Structure 1
Amino acid sequence: MHDQIYLFMHHTHAAELRAEAAAHRFTARVSPPQQFRARLGWTLVAIGLHLISSR
């Protein structure tokens, strides 16, 4: 096989890895912390309301 084919395959694979890493960075940065914070916040509100109503 020609050297150019290996180079083309390398560039293609590198571009796929970069796109996958960028997608992972975007989803890891946006979704879980906000979802966790929202769930934690609403849980604390529910606990506070439960404590107030039990008095």
Structure 2
Amino acid sequence: MHSETHLALHRLRAADLRAEADAHRLAVQAKRPHAIRTRLGWTLVEVGLRLASPGPALAH
């Protein structure tokens, strides 16, 4: 294979790999808010349970 042809194919493949990596990064970033919503949801559940449970009895 001619060296210029080999170089051109290498550049095309490198560009394809970069595009694939960018698409993967975007997909991973799109999933992150779901994890934040899950943590926030469980935090709200915990706060709700603390508010719903009876507090300690006050001594007179």
Length-normalised TM-score, structure 2: 0.71
**Structure 1 unaligned blocks of 5 or more:** none
Report sequence identity in percent: 28
Higher share in helix = 1
Q: What is the match of residue 8 of structure 1?
A: 8
Q: RMSD over aligned Cα, in angstroms?
A: 1.5
Runs of 4+ in 1 over 4 A off after TM superposition: none
**Structure 2 unaligned blocks of 5 or more:** 55-60
Q: Highest CA radius of gyration, 1 or 2?
A: 2
Length-normalised TM-score, structure 1: 0.75
The number of equivalent residue pairs is 54
